[in-house]
Amino acid sequence: MRPLATEAVNPASTAIDSLDARGIVGVMVAEDGRVAGAVAREAEAIARAVEVIAARLRAGGRLVYLGAGTSGRLGVLDASECPPTFSTPPEMVVGLIAGGPTALTRAIEGAEDRPELAVADLDGIGFGPGDVLVGIATSGRTPYVIGGIEHARRCGAFTIGVACSPDSALAAAAELAIVPLVGPEVIAGSTRLKAGTATKLVLNMLSTGAMILLGKTYGNLMVDLRATNSKLLDRSRRIAARLTGLDDAAATALLTRHDGELKTAIVAARRGVSTTEARRLLAAAGGQLRGAIGAEPVPQPTAASPDLVIGVDGGGSGCRAVVGRVAAGELTVLGRGSGGPANPRAIGGQAAATSIRAAVAEAFAAAGVQPAPAARACLGLAGAGRPEDAAAVAAALADVAASVAVVTDADLLLGDAAPGEMVALIAGTGSIAVARAADGTLDRAGGWGAVFGDEGSGWWVGREALAAVTAAADGRGRNTTLTARLLSRYGVDRPGLLAAALSGPALPRDRVAAAAIDVVAAAAAGDVVAVRILDAAATELAALVLAVERRRPVAAAPWSLRLAGGLLVHSPSLADAVTARLRQEGRPPARVEVVEDAALEAARMARRAMVPRRDG
């Protein structure tokens, strides 16, 4: 029997027993950070599953989870949370676990190895062709789960397999497979860790996505909840007040008049109709509140907070946001947040705006401040050089601030530097060097993209690392510790599976760029191959700087160098190597600064637009 990916040894935690508590937590945090990306790579399969589940539920079918151990407990947990969250009947979403309810708190030895028990459990709930069965087994080969999937297919039901191992028997048995490859666990074989986290995320998306399609939310508000306790009663009141414009007392009275039915109360108030008519309108709209009250958006606060500013730094791998308050001309950071990729040229303006909105929301949450439009927002984005790209992002985020400025990430670094006095080098997912020309426009080198450019970037370093690993596997390259590191990162157990793990219509730039972290770590540990890759990256990045520095309006004048981007910020040795190359070429900068928080630079730029400049 082939070794399981979930049983592999993680090279990042082989000495975890020698670490103190903070070191242990650090290793676990780093490993858990890989889970979201693994789930994101299954987005298409998850979306297809959500569509099928919603269609079956709408037709009167059920969603049934089936699993053993941790997988079974997660299924039961997700099922049990649907009634209070979405006001669903208990029989609509069901969780079955090998060994029955006792197995929720105590391991039942041998239950997971008996496929006939799954058949009996499914028959016991009257499982039929209109239902959906989600079989959960991180190993992908649990007999109880596979037996249940095979029985469900014989019944004519739709089957979905959730596993964390590639090429599994479960994936082959189910009609639709969702396989987030999270890599080896911090404790070998303990799939309650990353695999359990990935499974929980997937199940969240399956049930929540289906309920959204069934009309259980309005915007992101939980409008079909069942108010069974004081917390939920208070939530119902707040949602009713928000969506009707009533004060708290009036919203409470509204809910009472309409038997506590939140959606019915909102429709009655918004349309000016009786309880009976509100229920009829909801039924005619298929339970969709938006359809029953019209397509107008969820009301949002409109008055901008005159003292708030937002700064965003966005690139190909992610974005970061800062929410700050300006008082007496001084900027105080209130909170920070992060989001997904935000390069509009790479993913489109709307997708970039979605990532930015999530980062801003997280920054407000961290600040403990009620989200409200800021006076000004400055967004410094890679790929925002074309006016149409910048305009698309600004339009999509017009509600975030009274004034939204979208600039390039280079603009953030150069600030109001005079022509020729500063060169900015950015090496994150991509790479570019920029300076201000004599006429005030930006002079650049690099930034041509991953197809035939981005030399020295995280993408370029990651690609070189992958090439080195495959060369070593072929026997045409030197052995390197990068092999173990990259296999762990991409959740596979041999180099031959790397291509499949990175499959798609094009190599995913952010996933390839993520491997640069492993190159930096391997180089610090003395790996010769990794050292050579970073040396070559330093040469390429220095060449970008030299290309624009030699075109400065006053070639002999002193100049400063600002370095930014995830690769340079997280690899001081690479930044030092770039500076050393410039000295070797006889073009040393008078001053070198590493900009670790470009989002803060964006917030400062927003502040400067509000008040006369006193400092940076």
**pLDDT over 90 at 144, yes or no:** yes
Which band of pLDDT confidence, cut at 50, 70 and 90, is reported for residue 616?
very low
Over 80: is that where the pLDDT of 156 sits?
A: yes
Instruction: Give the H or E element holding residue 380.
Output: strand 374-381
Q: Which helix (H) or strand (E) holds 379?
A: strand 374-381
410 and 286, same structural domain?
A: no
Q: Does residue 432 sit within a domain? A: yes
Please state, rounded to an integer, the average pLDDT across all residues of the chain.
84
Which residue shows structure tokens 């049930």?
Answer: 207
236 and 314 assigned to the same domain:
no
Q: Determine the angle formed by the axes of helices 194-213 and 43-58, rounding to 10 degrees.
A: 40
Distance CA 55, CA 36 (A): 27
Residue 487 shares a structural domain with residue 399: no
Q: Are residues 366 and 503 in the same domain?
A: no
User: What gap in Å lies between CA 183 and CA 189, rounded to an integer?
Assistant: 11
More confident residue, 507 or 286: 286
Residue 596 lies in a domain: no
Whether residue 473 has pLDDT greater than 70: yes
Over residues 102-108, the mean pLDDT reads 81
Span of 58-62, 169-173, 379-383 with lowest mean pLDDT: 379-383
| 175, 280: one domain | no
Check whether 116 has a pLDDT greater than 60. yes
Any idea what the CATH number is for the domain that residue 251 is in? 1.10.8.1080
Q: How far, in Å, are 4, 181, 223, 489, 577 from residue 493 at the CA level?
A: 9, 11, 45, 10, 34
Tell me how far apart the alpha carbons of residues 443 and 56 are, in angstroms, rounded to a whole number.
57
Given 213, 246, 280, which residue is the final one in a domain? 213
- What is the C-alpha separation between 38 and 410, in angstroms, rounded? 31
User: In the prediction, which pLDDT does 253 show?
Assistant: 81
Q: What is the pLDDT, as a whole number, of residue 258?
A: 82
Q: Are residues 51 and 151 in the same domain?
A: yes
Give residue 565's region: left, alpha or beta (phi > 0; psi -120 to 50). left
Same domain, 402 and 428: no
Q: Is the pLDDT of residue 356 over 80?
A: yes
Confidence of residue 535 (pLDDT cuts 50, 70, 90): very high
* Encoded tokens for 439: 């006429």
* pLDDT given at position 503: 62
Pairs from 23-31 (Cβ < 8 Å, separation ≥ 24): 27/186, 28/186, 28/193, 31/183, 31/185, 31/186, 31/193, 31/194
Strands (E), 173-245: 176-178
* Torsion sign (Cα): 306, 357, 81, 222: positive
Residue found under tokens 């992610």: 318
pLDDT one-digit tens code per residue, 219-269 = 777 777 666 677 778 888 888 887 777 777 777 888 888 888 888 888 887
Instruction: Say which range, 99-108, 250-259, 422-431, 496-505, has the weakest mean pLDDT.
Output: 496-505
Q: Is residue 473 part of a domain?
A: yes
In this predicted structure, what is the pLDDT of residue 302?
Answer: 47
* CATH code of the domain covering residue 566: 3.30.420.40
Q: Are residues 51 and 138 in the same domain?
A: yes
Whether pLDDT at 453 is above 90: no
| Confidence band for 5, pLDDT divided at 50, 70 and 90 | low
Q: Please state the rounded mean pLDDT for residues 146-169.
A: 93
Highest mean pLDDT among 39-43, 83-87, 108-112, 490-494: 39-43
Confidence label for 77 from pLDDT (cuts 50, 70 and 90): very high
Q: What is the predicted pLDDT for the residue at 88?
A: 85
Quickly state the pLDDT bin for 505 (edges 50, 70, 90).
very low
Report if residue 220 sits inside a domain: no
Active-site residue set = 81, 112
Torsion of CA 417, 427, 547, 524, to 10 degrees: 120
Same domain, yes or no: 273 and 330: no
**Whether pLDDT at 6 is above 70:** no
Residue 218 lies in a domain: no
Domain interval for residue 114: 5-213
Looking at the domain assignment, is residue 341 inside a domain? yes
CB 169 within 8 Å of CB 140: yes
pLDDT of residue 434: 85
Q: Quickly state the pLDDT bin for 347 (edges 50, 70, 90).
A: confident
Counting the structural domains of the chain, the total is 4
- Phi/psi for 303 (5° steps) reads -75, 125
Dihedral sign from CA coordinates of 136, 139, 145, 151? positive
- Are 57 and 117 members of one domain? yes
The pLDDT assigned to 508 comes to: 66
Mean pLDDT of 570-574: 87
Q: What is the pLDDT, as a whole number, of residue 227? A: 62
Assigned domain for 219 exists? no
Question: What strand order describes the sheet that includes 422-427?
Answer: 442-446, 431-436, 422-427, 560-564, 591-594
Task: Look at residue 218 and tell me whether its pLDDT is greater than 50.
Answer: yes
The 10s digit of each residue's pLDDT in 404-415 is 888 887 777 787
CATH number at residue 201: 3.40.50.10490
The domain boundary, picked from 213, 238, 255, lies at 213
Query: What contacts 383, CB < 8 A, 6 or more positions away?
Result: 316, 343, 344, 345, 346, 389
C-alpha distances out from residue 135 to 24, 74, 153, 212, 415, Å? 32, 11, 12, 22, 54
Alpha-carbon distance 318 to 511, whole Å? 11
Pick the range with the lowest mean pLDDT from 131-145, 240-254, 284-298, 552-566.
284-298
Rounded average pLDDT over 147-170: 93
Residue 108 domain-assigned (yes or no)? yes
- pLDDT score for 460: 92
CA distance to 29, 31, 481, per residue, from 24 (Å): 9, 11, 22
Q: Which H or E element spans position 563?
A: strand 560-564
279-325: pLDDT as tens digits: 888 888 888 888 888 654 444 444 557 788 899 988 877 888 999 98
pLDDT value of residue 408: 82
**Does the global pTM surpass 0.75?**
no
Quickly count: other Cβ atoms within 10 Å of residue 211's Cβ.
25
Residues 114 and 141 in one domain: yes
Name the pLDDT band for 612 (thresholds 50, 70, 90).
very low
For 436, phi and psi rounded to 5 degrees?
-100, 125
Of residues 528 and 33, more confidently modeled: 528
Residues 83 and 206 in one domain: yes
The set of residues, in sequence order, having a beta carbon less than 8 Å from that of 547 and lying 6+ positions away, is 433, 445, 446
